[in-house]
Amino acid sequence: MIVLGIVGSIAGGKSTVARYLQESGAAWIDADSLAKQSLDLADVKEKLVLRFGNQVLNAGGGIDRAEIGSIVFGNDQASQAELRYLESIVHPIVRNQVLQKLKSNASSGVQVSLLDVPLLFESGWDRCCDEVWCIDADPEIRAARAANRGWHPDEIVKREQRQLPIATKIQLSNRVIQNNGSMEELHQRVDQHWQSLLTKNVETDSDTHCR
């Protein structure tokens, strides 16, 4: 089994490529989605309420992710401390789930597992990957996409400050896919790399496991 890591610039199109790779046959492991789901676990919810109070609960009694975000995503020391606390709870859960999915995929004959983990290089997940692809786009195009999502103009800058510079991600990646054109052009580029990856899988018969 090939383990393919995916990274990218903010609003560069990483999730778009991940969904397309899933349609092409990759088993998409979306760690961000797993992290969001973990907030609904009873023990996690209890710890967050004890730490932050009932203000983090929504009308249905679940965790209000927007409220949590307003607490932990800031540049001041207090916010950073709260973020570290949140990560200390969520990251071990997500790590175990990712490892379980990789093991399950390998044992069930999955050809390619797509490892989509925020801060993939920073957290060392790249060491589990046979290849890492970086999805990027020009700054003005990314800004336009962010605006279409309703983001504040400063949102890209804030998010980028919490990640490696895109130049570093590009340097550390095996392949770089530019997403400045149409969806058809993007799919063509991805298809070329995908076919190359499948050929590599056949030739190497890779059975990568992350421990």
User: Does the annotation flag 16 for ligand binding?
Assistant: yes
Rounded Cα distance between 115 and 90, Å, is 17
User: Does the annotation flag 150 for ligand binding?
Assistant: no
Rounded Cα distance between 119 and 98, Å, is 14
User: Does the annotation flag 15 for ligand binding?
Assistant: yes
Rounded Cα distance between 104 and 106, Å, is 5
User: Does the annotation flag 208 for ligand binding?
Assistant: no
> Is-contact 26 153, C-beta < 8 A?
no
Helices and strands counted in the chain (H then E): 9, 5
Rounded Cα distance between 99 and 105, Å, is 10
User: Does the annotation flag 12 for ligand binding?
Assistant: yes
Rounded Cα distance between 191 and 181, Å, is 15
User: Does the annotation flag 14 for ligand binding?
Assistant: yes
Q: Which amino acid is at 207?
A: D
> Is-contact 22 114, C-beta < 8 A?
yes
Q: Position of tokens 């903010």?
A: 10
Torsion of CA 42, 115, 161, 70, to 10 degrees: -20
Q: Return binding residues.
A: 11-16
Q: Return binding residues for ATP.
A: 11-16
